[in-house]
Amino acid sequence: MIDGNVNQPMERLDDWEESLHLRYPEPSGGKPSKTKEEFRNYEEASSTVREFYRLNHRFQTYDFVLAKEREYLPLRKTEMTVWEAMEFLNTLVDDSDPDTSLSQIEHLLQTSEAIRRDGHPRWFIFAGLVHDLGKVLCLFGEPQWAVVGDTFPVGCRFSEKIVFPEFFSENPDSSDPALSSPCGVYSEGCGLRNVHMSWGHDEYIYRVMKDRLPDEALYMLRYHSFYPAHREREYEHLMDDHDREMFEWVRKFNPYDLYSKGEEPPSVAALRPYYEDLIEEFAPGKLQW
């Protein structure tokens, strides 16, 4: 048993997202401006992010994921409107850099505003608005390693291209022959809908929004942290043609999540009427969480 502090190695939940920025400094398709070696230096410097991944890779087992799915996916924790969930998530106060870092609501609005500025459909803007609301898992007492971090399939071999692959040696599934072959419990081309992903905020918000949005938006929600697939092109042997088509939308979404930061923080009060309308269109009233 590990205690709460050890379980929450990062000072801020967003430290993970900042580490992504260093790992992927350019949008997909752009020229890489950071070499592998430079990133390795960063990894070594950032001991809290490293410790976060050590815990994530050790404890995200197939059994752990099935247990969390049974616990959360019936959506019986609470009822909230989308705006209430945004305000609830905003109570997650990170204690460093109050001047330079955005609040959770500001990150959501900055993402959706960047999508809106580029003239994308309303469901795409809505996906930007809600994509991180699954982080309320933190407020339900989940440790950082079960809320954020790159996601990856469990129940089959862990890809060597997942960040810090060496930490998977501490995951008991790595030494279980049934769970460590390339397809593991799945079959080739079975489609990602049949694959259990490491537990975190993506799967949770996908389930909350499941029947409300077009598939393109649902893929953005469900797989936006699946960097091993949308950036590293791993796990294609588990995908079907529909997944491959939809992943182009996940790739379209990613720059808005990662690279819309650092601009002026959006004005929450001024934007609220527009977004209340958008919420009314796609997910009105109290939702089950």
Nearest CB to Fe ion, comparing residues 179 and 221: 221
Nearest CB to Fe ion, comparing residues 80 and 105: 105
CB of 257 to Fe ion, least distance (A): 4
CA dihedral 162, 200, 243, 275 (to 10 degrees): -130
Number of other residues whose CB lies within 10 A of the CB of residue 127: 29
Q: Is 74 helix (H, G, I), strand (E, B) or coil?
A: coil
Contact set for Fe ion, span 183-212 (CB under 5 A): none
Task: Verify binding: residue 257, Fe ion, rule CB under 5 A.
Answer: yes
Number of other residues whose CB lies within 10 A of the CB of residue 6: 11
Cα angle value 174/68/138 (rounded, 5°): 105
Beta strands in 150-272 (DSSP E): none
CB of 131 to Fe ion, least distance (A): 6
Query: Which DSSP symbol is given to 13?
Result: T
Stretch that binds Fe ion, among 78-86, 120-128, 188-196, 249-257 (CB under 5 A): 249-257
3-state helix, strand, coil in the chain (%, to 5): 55, 0, 40
Q: Is 131 helix (H, G, I), strand (E, B) or coil?
A: coil
Stretch that binds Fe ion, among 24-32, 182-190, 229-237, 255-263 (CB under 5 A): 255-263
Task: Verify binding: residue 142, Fe ion, rule CB under 5 A.
Answer: no
Contact set for Fe ion, span 42-61 (CB under 5 A): none
The dihedral region occupied by 151, where left means phi > 0, alpha psi between -120 and 50, and beta the remainder, is beta
Nearest CB to Fe ion, comparing residues 150 and 257: 257
Task: Verify binding: residue 132, Fe ion, rule CB under 5 A.
Answer: yes
**Beta pairing, strands 79-80 & 287-288:** antiparallel
Nearest CB to Fe ion, comparing residues 234 and 257: 257
Nearest CB to Fe ion, comparing residues 203 and 257: 257
Stretch that binds Fe ion, among 8-16, 127-135, 174-182, 184-192 (CB under 5 A): 127-135
Stretch that binds Fe ion, among 129-137, 192-200, 227-235, 261-269 (CB under 5 A): 129-137
Where do contacts with Fe ion occur on this chain (CB under 5 A)?
A: 132, 257
